[in-house]
Structure 1
Amino acid sequence: MAEATAEDELRSLIRDLVRIETENPPGNERACAEYIVEWFDDRGLDADLVREPYADRPQVGLRVGEGDPTLVVNGHIDVVPAGDRSEWTHDPYGGTVEDGRLYGRGSADMKAGVAVGMAATAALAEEVESGDLDGSIVFHAAIGEETAEPGTRTLLESGYDGDYGIVLEPTQLRAATSEKGLAWYEITVAGDPSHASHPDQGTNAVLAARPVLDALAEYDERIREREDDLVGNAYATVTMVEAGTKENVVPERATITVDRRFLPAEDVDEIDAEIDALLEEVAREHGVDAAWERTRTYESAAIDVDSELATVIRRHSAAAANADTDPWGIEASTDVRNFVNDAEMEAITWGPGDLAQAHTYDEHIELTNADAGLEALVGAAGELLEADR
């Protein structure tokens, strides 16, 4: 029987990870974290189950070596729910391979990246431990990224930090040195309930919400003029409107959800003030009683486009996969903010797969891109950590 190649082992690892359902919500990461610890143990590497911030949802931290500099490779193991399974051509947790693609929830976002990080850590461990490489390597398998929970931040605060960080989200091996921030707002418009046979007795919160929706549309149009060379435009998108309890009851409350994508130059406190001002103007002009709450926040983050880390990973990505080497920023939000903003580390978002596949039916990863990712990451890490650099 032919010996398994590195590509065979990587593809098997991606399949195994995809087959472990880790949907969040509710947060089913435990089985996957335990698998990863066992995988490293089989290779003589002592990974830890980190039971913070949640004891019942452990994550994984591993440090190999004690020298400097230290490279941290990070991936999250939670995935968004698969949704209506009848819409999938392939079992979302089957790990089916067809025409060079591996299908399944989380295959692109981001278990292929996690697998590449695991395989690279294992491949570099011997050189690190022997002293052929001066530096150290740290691996993260974090929980809760899909719902802005403090998984990665907790790992960094627990000592699994370093000098460089790579968040292995799907970028088709293009290095992102900046990313947009994300803030979710819930705006609640108050009314007064009544029976629908006497609608004028109450105040219909749905109708009261109209001027708020109009103001949000104008706000979105205005802030789209704000632009960053790497990550594009700012947005304020209404994504949900919820109201009513029964067909024959005038609704007493309407809740509007807004997805606010913001630029590295914008500050979330200033955005809060903009939402305040918007609702105050609606109240003055239309007498609408509305309140807001920011329910979730992913901060924006940026480093120098010509940082050493980005320069090295671009060169190895171009050699392995002819990846685009132009300066670039990612429009989505990732845990790279915890590296740059909280741990004050030089960090990028980079990894195999196409972000357009994230959260879709029949999500998939091109396996050749994962193969190239492993080659590029091992090469770049070796250069960053080499003794004679």
Structure 2
Amino acid sequence: MTDTQYTELETLIAELVEIETENPPGNEGDCAEFIQSWFADRGIDADLLTDPYPDRPQVGVSVGDGDPTLVLNGHIDVVPAGDLEQWEYDPYGAERVGNSLYGRGSVDMKTGVAIGMLATVEFASAIESGDLSGSVVFQAAIGEETAEPGTKTLLEQGYDGDYGVVLEPTGFKTATSEKGLAWYEISVVGDPSHASRPDQGENAIDGARPVLDALASYDETVRERSADLVGQAYATVTMLEAGTKENVVPERATITVDRRFLPDETVTDIDAEIDELLSDVESAHDISTSWTRTRTYESAAIDPESPLATTFRDHSAALADAPTEPWGVQASTDVRNFINDAQTEAITWGPGDMTQAHTYNEHVDLEDAATGLEILRSAGREILAGEGG
């Protein structure tokens, strides 16, 4: 990579980080318009799409009509910066310190978006000149952080292809499998009374205790389930909310459960497990409960030896000494939309340290970013030339 190309990459990452795109509430619009304009300045048509939300546009780019088609995907929303006093650097200042660039979204995942944009321009030029026979699609999606259908909608609207690369920070490891995530809110109903007369009411917190015990046993059970690439399943209680005032016996307690599940588990099966668990607790303890699943990221998997995965593992090993063995992501990404919804062979792959995601003083190593662009260019060219795998 030349000095000019390195500077262009650093500048683009910084420009993307400087645009605040927190979700919630969903402030992606300015960033989507920037990306559209950036492509226009380079002679490439980029569409602003107002589905699924008119006030939160996302971007789709499509170049070429040959086979195969490679889709590069990145989400432009970021989690809120949180307590600004905990940041040593302005979360939207894109400050460079040594080889690191600091800011919310620098790792998750505006560096991935930046290398996808730059690679798309290079591939577009090669496709239009006839040097590459395939086609390239770029997606800048909204709503990934809150399981909204940004990527799903882009795929449905024709920004799809034969292969997909979700450019999340994996440290150049090629993920062919990922866990699913389901959040459950379980409510335990009581009967309020003044705390000076506690026996007059029915304390929902007392009712929550056997539910918590049952959930602890359930977690022990699901931890016995595992998959080779993504490890154990979990059922973790993450929140307990109850009460309205210090001297009021609470009428409701709400328990939140984070359920991480494996590619061979389905949310339908897990719903049934939660139903059975609560039914047993209600019968044994004479309490009333209800539940709702508030968010779902489906699990997903492809053949670890797929042509796409093999190509990216080989190029990552050659250029970044990345591991060559199959690997899976324990978090959840929009790769599920490619695999489950569009039946597209897809991987999760990109530069950056995933442990930096959602942290204070989030930062990306710019040398890693440059290496990531080099790998994406070389692996992408092999795929687009019809040579992948």
**Fold match by TM threshold 0.5:** yes
**Partner residue, 1:362:** 361
User: Pairwise mapping of residues 246-265 of structure 1 onto structure 2 (< 5 A)?
Assistant: 246-265=245-264
The 1:314/1:213 distance shift into structure 2, 3 A limit, reads same
Task: Find the aligned partners of 2:387 and 2:360 in 1 and give their Cα distance.
Answer: 47
**Partner residue, 1:103:** 102
**Partner residue, 1:53:** 52
Task: Find the aligned partners of 1:378 and 1:36 in 2 and give their Cα distance.
Answer: 20
Residue 167 of structure 1: how far off its partner (Å) = 0.3
Task: Find the aligned partners of 2:387 and 2:318 in 1 and give their Cα distance.
Answer: 22
Residue 165 of structure 1: how far off its partner (Å) = 0.1
**Partner residue, 1:44:** 43
**Partner residue, 2:209:** 210
Task: Find the aligned partners of 1:24 and 1:339 in 2 and give their Cα distance.
Answer: 22
**Partner residue, 2:138:** 139
Asked if the contact 1:104–1:362 (Cα under 8 Å) also holds between the matched residues in 2, the reply is: yes
Which residue type is aligned with residue 28 of structure 1? N
- TM-score w.r.t. length of structure 1: 0.98
Asked if the contact 1:132–1:387 (Cα under 8 Å) also holds between the matched residues in 2, the reply is: no
**Partner residue, 2:341:** 342
Task: Find the aligned partners of 2:201 and 2:317 in 1 and give their Cα distance.
Answer: 64
Deviations 1:46-73 (A, max 9, x none): 0000110001000000001111100000
Asked if the contact 2:74–2:168 (Cα under 8 Å) also holds between the matched residues in 1, the reply is: yes
Deviations 1:226-273 (A, max 9, x none): 010000000001111111111111111111110000000111111000
Task: Find the aligned partners of 1:288 and 1:106 in 2 and give their Cα distance.
Answer: 44
**SS in structure 2 at match of 1:270:** helix
Gaps of at least 5 residues in structure 1 are none
Residue 215 of structure 1: how far off its partner (Å) = 0.6
Which residue type is aligned with residue 366 of structure 2? L
- Runs of 4+ in structure 1 off by over 3 angstroms are none
**SS in structure 1 at match of 2:240:** strand
Which residue type is aligned with residue 189 of structure 2? A
Q: Quick check: 1:173 aligned with 2:172?
A: yes
Which residue type is aligned with residue 74 of structure 2? G
Task: Find the aligned partners of 1:294 and 1:378 in 2 and give their Cα distance.
Answer: 40
Asked if the contact 2:180–2:299 (Cα under 8 Å) also holds between the matched residues in 1, the reply is: yes
Which residue type is aligned with residue 206 of structure 1? I
Deviations 1:66-111 (A, max 9, x none): 1110000000000000000100111111101112111111111100
**Partner residue, 2:17:** 18
Size of the alignment, in residue pairs?
387
The more displaced of 71-80 and 318-327 is 318-327
**Partner residue, 2:383:** 384
User: Pairwise mapping of residues 143-222 of structure 1 onto structure 2 (< 5 A)?
Assistant: 143-222=142-221
Asked if the contact 2:188–2:290 (Cα under 8 Å) also holds between the matched residues in 1, the reply is: yes
Deviations 1:297-336 (A, max 9, x none): 1000000000000011111111221112210000000000
Q: Quick check: 1:277 aligned with 2:276?
A: yes
**SS in structure 2 at match of 1:177:** strand
Which residue type is aligned with residue 222 of structure 1? T
Deviations 1:22-46 (A, max 9, x none): 0000000000000000110111100
Residue 206 of structure 1: how far off its partner (Å) = 1.2
- TM-score w.r.t. length of structure 2: 0.98
Residue 387 of structure 1: how far off its partner (Å) = 6.1
**Partner residue, 1:125:** 124
**SS in structure 1 at match of 2:160:** coil
Superposed CA RMSD in Å reads: 1.0
User: Pairwise mapping of residues 326-337 of structure 1 onto structure 2 (< 5 A)?
Assistant: 326-337=325-336
Residue 386 of structure 1: how far off its partner (Å) = 1.2
Residue 281 of structure 1: how far off its partner (Å) = 0.8
**SS in structure 2 at match of 1:209:** helix
Task: Find the aligned partners of 2:44 and 2:195 in 1 and give their Cα distance.
Answer: 66
Task: Find the aligned partners of 1:260 and 1:325 in 2 and give their Cα distance.
Answer: 30
**SS in structure 1 at match of 2:358:** coil
Task: Find the aligned partners of 2:142 and 2:63 in 1 and give their Cα distance.
Answer: 21
Residue 115 of structure 1: how far off its partner (Å) = 0.4
Asked if the contact 1:177–1:310 (Cα under 8 Å) also holds between the matched residues in 2, the reply is: yes
Task: Find the aligned partners of 1:372 and 1:271 in 2 and give their Cα distance.
Answer: 40
Q: Quick check: 1:320 aligned with 2:319?
A: yes
Gaps of at least 5 residues in structure 2 are none
Which residue type is aligned with residue 262 of structure 2? L
**Partner residue, 1:64:** 63
Asked if the contact 1:67–1:134 (Cα under 8 Å) also holds between the matched residues in 2, the reply is: yes
**SS in structure 1 at match of 2:175:** coil
